[in-house]
Structure 1
Amino acid sequence: MGALKKSLMTILGVTMVGTQLVACSSNVEPAKSSTTPAASGSMGPAASGDTAKPAAKPVEITWWNFPNFQPLDGEVGKYEKQIIAAFNKKNPDIKVNLEMITFEGGPQKLNVAIASNTAPDVIYDAPGRIIDWGKKKLLAPLNDMVTKEVQADISPALWKQSMVGNDIYMYPINTAPFMMAVNKTVFEKIGALDLLPLSKPDRTWTVAEYEKALQAVKEKAPDVIPSGFYAKSTAGDQGTRAYIANLGVSRFLNEDYSKVAINTDNAAKALDWIVKASKDKLVVPGAASLAAADVNDMFLQGKLAFTINYSAVLKAQNVPNKKVKFDDILLPFPTLDGSKPKLEPYLGGMAIFNNNDKDKIAASKKLIDFIANDPEYGKKNLIQTGGLSARTSVTGLYDDSEYKYAELARSFITDPPTIADGYAEIRTFWFPELQNALIGGVSGKAALDNFATKANEAIAKAKTPTQSK
Structure 2
Amino acid sequence: MKKRVMAMALASAMVLSMTAPATAADEGQEIAGGKDVSLTLWLTPSWKGVFSGDEPDADYDSFFKEAAKRYNEMHPNVTINVEVIAGDSRDEKLNVAESTDTLPDIVYEGAFTMSSYYHKGSIVALDDIISEDDKADIADGIWENCQVEGATFIFPFAHMPGTLIYNADMFKTAGLDDYIKGEYEIATWSPDELREILTALRDCEELGGVYPMSLFCMNNQADTWNLTYLRMFGNTFFDETGHLCVNEENGVKALQYILDLSADGLTVPGAESLTSNDCNAMFQNQQIAVSFTNSTLYTNLQTDMSNGTVEPFDARLANIPGDPEPHSFTYVSGFMAMNTGDEDRIAASKDFIQYVCTDEELVLASKNTLPVRTSVTEQVKDEMPLLEAYNANAQYIFNFSNNMPGYNELRNVLFPELQAALIGQKTAQEALDDYVEKGNQVIDEGRANSVVYNQ
Correspondence for 1:43: none
Distance 1:175 1:314 in 2: 12
Correspondence for 2:370: 388
In the alignment, is the contact (CA less than 8 A) between 1:302 and 1:323 conserved in 2?
Answer: no
Correspondence for 1:229: 215
Distance 2:5 2:312 in 1: 50
After TM superposition, the structure 1 = structure 2 runs for residues 316-355 of structure 1, keeping only pairs within 5 Å, are 316-318=299-301, 319-320=303-304, 323-337=310-324, 339=325, 341-355=326-340
Change (3 A) 1:430 1:125: same
In the alignment, is the contact (CA less than 8 A) between 1:38 and 1:148 conserved in 2?
Answer: no
**Amino acid aligned to 2:393:** A
After TM superposition, the structure 1 = structure 2 runs for residues 187-206 of structure 1, keeping only pairs within 5 Å, are 187-198=171-182, 203-206=187-190
Distance 1:105 1:423 in 2: 16
Which one of the candidate residues 141, 150, 154 is aligned to 2:138?
154
After TM superposition, the structure 1 = structure 2 runs for residues 47-196 of structure 1, keeping only pairs within 5 Å, are 48-53=22-27, 54=29, 55=31, 56-58=33-35, 59-71=37-49, 72-196=56-180
Cα offset for 1:227?
Answer: 0.8
Correspondence for 2:52: none
In the alignment, is the contact (CA less than 8 A) between 2:88 and 2:221 conserved in 1?
Answer: no
1:326-368 alpha-carbon deviations (Å, 9 max, x no partner): 122121111124x2x3322211111111222222222112211
Query: What secondary structure is seen at the aligned counterpart in 1 of 2:386?
Result: helix
Bigger shift: residues 116-125 or 30-39: 30-39
Query: What secondary structure is seen at the aligned counterpart in 2 of 1:245?
Result: coil
Bigger shift: residues 164-173 or 193-202: 193-202
Alignment partner of 1:455 is 2:439: yes
Structure 2, unpaired ranges of 5+: 50-55
Query: What secondary structure is seen at the aligned counterpart in 2 of 1:463?
Result: helix
Distance 1:25 1:124 in 2: 26
TM-score, reference length from structure 1: 0.84
Cα offset for 1:255?
Answer: 4.7
In the alignment, is the contact (CA less than 8 A) between 2:157 and 2:333 conserved in 1?
Answer: yes
Distance 1:80 1:194 in 2: 43
Distance 1:426 1:441 in 2: 21
Cα offset for 1:34?
Answer: 7.0
Query: What secondary structure is seen at the aligned counterpart in 2 of 1:333?
Result: coil
Query: What secondary structure is seen at the aligned counterpart in 2 of 1:329?
Result: strand
In the alignment, is the contact (CA less than 8 A) between 2:183 and 2:316 conserved in 1?
Answer: no
Cα offset for 1:394?
Answer: 3.2
Runs (4+) of structure 1 moved beyond 4 Å? 23-26, 32-40, 197-202
Cα offset for 1:232?
Answer: 0.7
Bigger shift: residues 168-177 or 311-320: 311-320
Distance 1:70 1:128 in 2: 22
Correspondence for 1:315: 298
**Amino acid aligned to 1:361:** I
Cα offset for 1:419?
Answer: 1.1
1:314-337 alpha-carbon deviations (Å, 9 max, x no partner): 112334386432122121111124
Distance 1:39 1:407 in 2: 35
Distance 2:123 2:71 in 1: 23
In the alignment, is the contact (CA less than 8 A) between 1:51 and 1:145 conserved in 2?
Answer: no
Cα offset for 1:120?
Answer: 1.3
Alignment partner of 1:217 is 2:222: no
Change (3 A) 1:260 1:189: same
Distance 2:358 2:66 in 1: 16
Correspondence for 1:10: none
Q: Percent identity among equivalent residues?
A: 26
In the alignment, is the contact (CA less than 8 A) between 2:41 and 2:107 conserved in 1?
Answer: yes
Cα offset for 1:170?
Answer: 0.9
Query: What secondary structure is seen at the aligned counterpart in 1 of 2:266?
Result: coil
**Amino acid aligned to 2:266:** L
Cα offset for 1:421?
Answer: 2.8
Which one of the candidate residues 334, 354, 360 is aligned to 1:369?
354
Structure 1, unpaired ranges of 5+: 1-22, 41-47
TM-score, reference length from structure 2: 0.86
Correspondence for 2:53: none
Distance 2:399 2:289 in 1: 28
